[in-house]
Chain A
Amino acid sequence: MSAHAGGYNADPRLRWVEGLPWVVALAAFFLMPEYLSLGARILIYILYALSLDLIVGYAGIITLGHSAYFGLGAYVAGILAAKVGVGDPLLQLVVAAAAGAVLGVTTGAIILRTRALTLLMLTLAITSVLLEIANKATTLTGGADGLSGVVVSPVLGMFKFDLFGKTAYLYCLAVLLLGWWLVRKLIYSPFGTALTGVRENSLRMHAIGAPVYWRLVLVYTMSATLAGVAGGLLTQTNQFVGLNVLSFESAGELLVMLILGGVGRLYGAFIGPVVYLVAQDMLAKQFPEYWYFGIGTMLVLVVMFARGGILGIVDGILAKLRRKP
């Protein structure tokens, strides 16, 4: 089982391949210093995609409103820095995480009682409510102009955020490492096994007496917390918050990244944002029309022909190679 798909027989030991993303990330830091701001953005989106994978890939909750928690984290960190005067980045992250958790548990407890279209609709409606608040509460959020004037003091009082984005990159990498470790622990725990059980057959999980609803609320809250942290990171590296963090397009883009990498495979959340954001950096500005056309076509093709995403294709090739000799 190289796919990290969870389940009862999964082997939780670390494999050497799993060190690869971190080696690549560090190599990129030294070899491509001019791309560090893009790199930090990719790291943030990996964390964000990981949080989405937890609920979509492992628990099987379909949501179109995950940007609610990401956007809340971004705005909480931004408001703390620009309006309240709390400059410490770690404190901002903790508060952003707490905000994500509170919104996650309250909305999760409400919406997870429903299913299918109603659930989808409720996630959309919640994000729309937040977007509307952020748009109209201009004194706090800056409205459509965005929230500027975000000042972040040095990390741990020692590492100042520099112009080249070196600190920001390593800081994001450290937070991502922590987030990845938590998510990995979670999916290999009995709790993670229960989640895949709910995804595969919720009726049976009910029948064996598993507290399905509470498990879902718990994982939803954890996911919202991680998304809040990712949002806070985005604010700190950009030193700006725009309304688009809460938009439906942003939630859609995130889903695209996760699907592209592979859902419910842990490292799909790593591959997807790298491929998507690098491609976007190279192509989107020159050919905006073709870019969206390409994204849409790719999404349709992935759903039709390659449901495991890039990692699914790699797994397929590896399995074939192994069978041959």
Chain B
Amino acid sequence: MEVFLASIVSVAFHGVALGMILYVISVGLSVTMGMMGFANLAHGVFALAGGYVLTTAISRFGMPFPVALALAFVLVAAGSVVIERLLYSRLYNASDLEQVLFTIGLIFIAVAVARFIYGTLQQPVHLPGYLKGQFALLGRDFPTYRVFIIVFGAITVSLLWFGIERTRWGAMVRAAVDNRAMAQSVGINTKRLFTLTFALGSGLAGLGGGLGADIIAIQPTYPFENLVYFLVVVAVGGLGSLRGPFVAALVIGIADTSCKYWLPQFGAFPIYVATIAILLWRPAGLFGRHA
């Protein structure tokens, strides 16, 4: 019994850590898709970029971990502004098919560039000493780095929610998600708002990619392999919502971890089946507004 309880606690703990990572990466996708209706399959590219920035900054330039993490956010956010202005912004009025193809093209390019620079091997993450080892809590030992991920993720999520729910900028974002044309007609510069939101979402993806580099392996095929996970979080959670993807990410993180722990012979099979079932039950996602 004690062993079983220990394994439940351990699975829940690792699941929540994975869920936090998935949420930090995917939340930007939910907001940009909800606001502009843009089918951005290349969102994982930003997470991958964040992962590379973090690992390179630490192992090649010897930067301390917090600086590298901040750099992953800032560089990816800045880079995404350029890409958004140059490429994405030309396709806001294009059909879904064209957006899908364009973003698949971006994935192909990113995979090739990543392979060219870093090779096909997984990038190792060198964690600082204070994040290694175990952390004792309530008579149990937890890996310190996962505790850090959960705490850090929780703080990021709280800041984000505060920003969206309590600030003027957040009110503008919510207005634009609800009704872009109306938001524009009351004088909100939706174009600039969207560029900023896109940068924030991509930066968060970069942050999540760097933070999760230890859990989700940083390698060139990352955007392809994890695309389903990011999309599942957004589709199951509901477009344009902050709360929905959070619940979805936690559920998926815990479900994925428990499947790998208790039912390894089925792989990710139960996750996909559950996703199909949920989407059939609620096509707009658990918290989607446009049913």
Residue A180 lies at the interface, judged by CB distance under 8 Å to chain B: no
Residue B92 lies at the interface, judged by CB distance under 8 Å to chain A: no
Q: Is the CB of B113 within 8 A of A121?
A: no
Among A113, A122, A299: residue with most chain B CB under 10 A:
A299
Known: A120-B39, A132-B268. A125 touches B109 (CB 8 A): no
Q: How far is the CA of A136 from the CA of B285 in the complex (A)?
A: 29
Known: A132-B272, A300-B87. A117 touches B109 (CB 8 A): no
Nearest-Cβ distance from residue B108 to partner chain A, whole angstroms = 3
Residues of B within 8 A of A227 (CB): none
Residues of A within 8 A of B157 (CB): none
Q: Is the CB of A125 within 8 A of B94?
A: no
Residue A252 lies at the interface, judged by CB distance under 8 Å to chain B: yes
Q: Is the CB of A303 within 8 A of B108?
A: no
Residues of A within 8 A of B280 (CB): 110, 113-114
B97 touches which of A56, A118, A124 (Cβ 8 Å): A56
Q: Is the CB of B109 within 8 A of A297?
A: yes
Residue A313 lies at the interface, judged by CB distance under 8 Å to chain B: no
Q: Is the CB of A120 within 8 A of B87?
A: no
Nearest-Cβ distance from residue A263 to partner chain B, whole angstroms = 7
Q: How far is the CA of A259 from the CA of B101 in the complex (A)?
A: 8
Nearest-Cβ distance from residue B148 to partner chain A, whole angstroms = 31
How would you classify the secondary structure of chain A's contact residues: helix, strand, loop or mixed? helix
**Listed stretches B65-73, B174-182, B224-232; interface member:** B224-232
84-110 of chain B: CB within 8 A of chain A: 87, 90-91, 94, 96-98, 100-102, 104-110
Contact mask B103-143 → A, CB, 8 Å, 1/0?
Answer: 01111111111011000000000000000000000000000
Q: Is the CB of A122 within 8 A of B267?
A: no
Residues of A within 8 A of B100 (CB): 62, 64, 120
Residues of A within 8 A of B266 (CB): 132, 136
Q: Is the CB of A121 within 8 A of B106?
A: no
Q: How far is the CA of A117 from the CA of B99 in the complex (A)?
A: 12
95-147 of chain A: CB within 8 A of chain B: 110, 113-118, 120-122, 124-126, 128-129, 132-133, 135-136
Nearest-Cβ distance from residue A105 to partner chain B, whole angstroms = 16
- Chain B's closest residue to A251 (CB) is B104
240-255 of chain A: CB within 8 A of chain B: 248-249, 252, 255
Residue A35 lies at the interface, judged by CB distance under 8 Å to chain B: no
Q: Is the CB of A132 within 8 A of B267?
A: yes
Residues of A within 8 A of B283 (CB): 113-115, 118
Residue B235 lies at the interface, judged by CB distance under 8 Å to chain A: yes
Nearest-Cβ distance from residue A165 to partner chain B, whole angstroms = 30
Residue B275 lies at the interface, judged by CB distance under 8 Å to chain A: yes
Residues of B within 8 A of A60 (CB): 97
**Listed stretches A12-20, A149-157, A185-193, A286-294; interface member:** A286-294
- Chain A's closest residue to B268 (CB) is A132
187-239 of chain B: CB within 8 A of chain A: 224, 227-228, 231-232, 234-235, 239
We find that the number of chain B residues with CB closer than 8 angstroms to chain A is 46
Q: Is the CB of A300 within 8 A of B109?
A: yes
How many contacts between A and B, using CB within 8 angstroms? 131
Residues of B within 8 A of A256 (CB): 101, 104
How would you classify the secondary structure of chain B's contact residues: helix, strand, loop or mixed? helix
A289 touches which of B97, B105, B115, B268 (Cβ 8 Å): B115
Known: A129-B269, A255-B104, A290-B112. A249 touches B224 (CB 8 A): yes
Q: Is the CB of B108 within 8 A of A292?
A: yes
Nearest-Cβ distance from residue A119 to partner chain B, whole angstroms = 9
Known: A62-B100, A118-B284. A303 touches B279 (CB 8 A): no
- Chain B's closest residue to A289 (CB) is B116
Q: Is the CB of A132 within 8 A of B269?
A: yes
Residues of A within 8 A of B39 (CB): 116-117, 120
- Chain B's closest residue to A291 (CB) is B112
A125 touches which of B110, B267, B276, B284 (Cβ 8 Å): B276
Q: Is the CB of A126 within 8 A of B276?
A: yes
Known: A116-B96, A129-B269, A249-B224. A299 touches B105 (CB 8 A): yes
Among A114, A136, A288, A292: residue with most chain B CB under 10 A:
A292
Q: How far is the CA of A296 from the CA of B215 in the complex (A)?
A: 28
Q: How far is the CA of A117 from the CA of B283 in the complex (A)?
A: 9
Q: Is the CB of A307 within 8 A of B228?
A: no
Q: Is the CB of B102 within 8 A of A128?
A: no
Q: How far is the CA of A292 from the CA of B223 in the complex (A)?
A: 14
Nearest-Cβ distance from residue A322 to partner chain B, whole angstroms = 28
Residue B185 lies at the interface, judged by CB distance under 8 Å to chain A: no
Q: How far is the CA of A300 from the CA of B108 in the complex (A)?
A: 10
Residue A175 lies at the interface, judged by CB distance under 8 Å to chain B: no
Residue B33 lies at the interface, judged by CB distance under 8 Å to chain A: yes
Closest 8 CB pairs of A and B: A296-B108, A299-B105, A296-B109, A293-B112, A292-B112, A300-B105, A121-B235, A303-B102
Add 16 more A-B contacts to A290-B112, A307-B98 (CB < 8 A). Answer: A62-B97, A114-B280, A118-B284, A125-B228, A125-B279, A135-B267, A136-B269, A248-B224, A256-B101, A293-B109, A293-B116, A296-B108, A296-B111, A299-B101, A303-B98, A304-B90
Q: Can you sample 9 A-B contacts with CB below 8 Å?
A: A62-B97, A116-B39, A126-B276, A136-B265, A136-B266, A255-B104, A292-B115, A293-B109, A296-B111
